[in-house]
Amino acid sequence: MRLTRYFLPVLKENPAEAQIVSHRYMLRAGMIKQQAAGIYSWLPLGFKVLKRIEQIVHEEQIRAGHIPLLMPTLQPADLWRESGRYDDYGQEMLRIKDRHERDMLYGPTNEEMITDIFRSHVNSYKDLPLTLYHIQWKFRDEVRPRFGVMRGREFLMKDGYNFDVDRDAALHAYNRHMVSYLRTYERMGLTAIPMRAASGPIGGDNTHEFLVLASTGESEVFYDDAVTDLKLGNRTVDYDDRDQVKAICDEFTTLYARTDETHDEALFNAVPEDRRKVGRGIEVGQIFYFGTKYSESMGATVVTADGSRVPVEMGSHGIGVSRLLGAIIEASHDDKGIIWPEGVTPFHAGIVNLKQGDAATDAACEAIYAALKAKGLDPLYDDRDERAGAKFATMDLIGLPWRVTVGPRGLANGLVELTSRRTGESEEMTAEAAVDRIAQIYEGV
């Protein structure tokens, strides 16, 4: 993409309404525009990151054997009357009447609808295990929407639902989700810690939240500092292997890590004092095992191997897809702007032309731009007729991890400069070497 042809409405001033750094940078970098409290348009740069995050979520869900579908945003109230949640959900639910005076709602989550799909089409244990998921907009009429996409009213969620014949199989689905979530967050450059949590309106007694530590997080958390060193890394996981999947979950959930709702002072005090940490975290996902809570009230049953009919065992599992943009920026920025991890960056590299209109620098930039694209990468070429300082400021603000700077002085020696946004370190090399280096970096991402 050439910057002169793109739509990147960056702001020079700090927007007064933004209280935390991720919200400030998302507005300043022209990623989002607020349309009403907690409701945003996704401008091209923000939309690109949102799509990259969605893509990673899809890839990891499919790797775990989960199946994508798409349910609507609007739902009939009658489904929710069956589970009893139409009355329980309260004011967070946006209720709508259609022209026939039928009660509708904008879905805050989809347990009822997925249970309805299941009971219409599945009858036998032979069709299990089954996990269906979608990535769809949700609406929760939050009392206090704030911090931009972090606590929106309309927000994008990946929500998945497992159906299993018995409790052991459902617990394996729970564990499988935990491992797939760990992989998902790591690919986004995040450390998200599974913490024992409270289940709220979803129900059930087995639930973990995934928290990214950040001083601006909304949840108070208590944890053993050693938990922050755990990494999945690139070990291979066989998602059908119950023992392996459970062993990974045990590894990640044995050390003390809890949100304030489930905090236990006595257990916490058993952690060595120098490792006992109290902090704040951003909840980027939550998994629930709730057994037959919805299947019983909604009549979703299966015939088992011995011919009896039982309510299907279920759980639900959510990732805050739009919230993740805010969480990633909170975890990765400096005073100049965002620093995107390679896994989610909107463009793989920026090209800065220090002397637009100069035949040699223009030609060199065009060649680098074409070479990066030929390698399947997505570069952003700043081809504006602007001062170098302004170009650097824009690149730093929007946070592309790699920048190639091309100027007449370097070119006279056949060299360009490759700069890491994270470390600020620059290295001179030929244009070909810069292109190869960037391609190599993204090979493993």
Instruction: Give whichever of 136 and 420 is closer to ligand 5CA, judged by the CB atom.
Output: 136
Instruction: Kindly state the smallest distance separating residue 303's Cβ from ligand 5CA, in Å.
Output: 27
Minimum distance of ligand 5CA from residue 130's CB (angstroms) = 16
For residue 354, the minimal CB distance to ligand 5CA (Å) is 40
Is residue 383 within 8 Å of 2, Cβ to Cβ? yes
Rounded Cα gap, residues 28 and 22, in angstroms: 10
Cβ 201 to ligand 5CA shortest distance, Å: 8
- Lookup result for tokens 């989002």: 32
Q: Footprint of ligand 5CA on this chain (CB under 6 A)?
A: 109, 111, 140, 142, 151-152, 155, 157, 159, 202, 283-286, 316-318, 320, 322-323
The nearest distance, CB 375 to ligand 5CA, in angstroms, is 34
Q: Which is nearer to ligand 5CA, 283 or 342 (CB)?
A: 283
- In the complex, the smallest distance separating the C-beta of residue 277 from ligand 5CA, rounded to whole angstroms, is 21
Shorter beta-carbon distance to ligand 5CA: residue 185 or 369: 185
Question: Closest CB to ligand 5CA belongs to which residue?
Answer: 320
Please answer whether residues 398 and 29 qualify as being in contact, where contact means their C-beta atoms are separated by less than 8 angstroms. Answer: yes
Minimum CB–partner distance for residue 315 and ligand 5CA (Å): 9
Residue whose CB is less far from ligand 5CA, 324 or 339: 324
CA distance 163 to 170: 7
Comparison of 140 and 391: residue with beta carbon closer to ligand 5CA? 140
Beta carbon of residue 209, minimum distance to ligand 5CA (angstroms, whole number): 6
For residue 190, the minimal CB distance to ligand 5CA (Å) is 12
Of residues 71, 134, 149, 135, the one with CA closest to residue 105: 71
* Residue with Cβ nearer ligand 5CA (9 or 203): 203
Q: In three state form, how does the secondary structure of the chain look? A: CEHHHCCCCCCCCCCCCCCCHHHHHHHHCCCEEEEECCEEEECHHHHHHHHHHHHHHHHHHHHCCCEECCCCCEEEHHHHHHHCHHHHCHHHCEEEECCCCCEEEECCCCHHHHHHHHHHHCCEHHHCCEEEEEEEEEECCCCCCECHHHECCEEEEEEEEEEECCHHHHHHHHHHHHHHHHHHHHHCCCCEEEEECCCHHHCCCEEEEEEEECCCCCEEEEEEHHHHHCCCCCCCCCCCCHHHHHHHHHHHHCCCEEEHHHCCHHHHHCCCHHHEEEEEEEEEEEEEEEECHHHHHHCCEEECCCCCEEECEEEEEEEEHHHHHHHHHHHCEECCEECCCCCCCCCCEEEEECCCCCHHHHHHHHHHHHHHHHCCCCEEEECCCCCHHHHHHHHHHHCCCEEEEECHHHHHCCCEEEEECCCCCEEEECHHHHHHHHHHHHHCC
Q: Which is nearer to ligand 5CA, 50 or 397 (CB)?
A: 50
Measured between alpha carbons, how far is 365 from 349 in angstroms, rounded to an integer? 12
Whole-number Å distance between alpha carbons of 129 and 185: 25
Q: Minimum CB separation from ligand 5CA for residue 13, in Å?
A: 26
CB of 347 to ligand 5CA, least distance (A): 25
